[in-house]
Amino acid sequence: MNKREQGAYYENLACQYLEENGAKIEFRNFRCKSGEIDIIASDGKYLVFVEVKYRTGTRYGSPEGAVDYRKQNAISRVSDFYRKRFGISEDISQRFDVVAISADEDDAIRIKWLKNAFAYIPRRNIYF
């Protein structure tokens, strides 16, 4: 399996897991010039922006640890564009989640849905 196929496979697993746990998938792989959001879903009253991360082993850290400040900032920017593009009111509650998928030595897959994994990062206005 190449990287693109592997990414699609784990995103499919994440979607299935989210749906089994009550979320409704609204959009997958939403892209704009600021970046990409893997999954956009609704979960109760929340519009949820989901980053999917997969790791085999812990050599490079946990999957959820890979969603660093830079990635969080990019997801926040893409969420702004998504809301504007589809006319979604700022009054609608939003959440930023991570679905962390890992495999152990026996290739057993573990999935964790981390709700509110990080907070929205507001744009910085820089004045000169």
**Residue % of the chain over a pLDDT of 90:** 72
Q: What is the pLDDT of residues 32-47, one digit of tens each?
A: 998 999 999 999 999 9
H-helix segments, the chain: 3-20, 69-85
Instruction: Enumerate residues 6+ apart whose C-beta is below 8 A from 31.
Output: 78
CA dihedral 27, 47, 78, 72 (to 10 degrees): -120
Looking at residue 127, its pLDDT comes to 52
pLDDT at residue 65 tops 60: yes
SS3 124: coil
The beta strand positions in the chain, using DSSP E, are 24-32, 35-43, 46-56, 94-103, 109-118
Tokens of 38: 């893997």
Strands of 109-118's sheet, edge to edge?
24-32, 35-43, 46-56, 94-103, 109-118
- The CATH number corresponding to 3-118 among 3.20.20.370, 3.20.20.140, 3.40.1350.10, 2.60.40.2470 equals 3.40.1350.10
**30-60 burial code (b ≥16 CB/10 A, e <16):** beeeebebbbbbebeebbbbbbbbbbeeeee
- Greater model confidence, 121 or 56: 121
**Residue % of the chain over a pLDDT of 70:** 95
Residue type, 40: I
What's the pTM value of the predicted model, to 2 decimals?
Answer: 0.90
DSSP structure class, residue 52? E
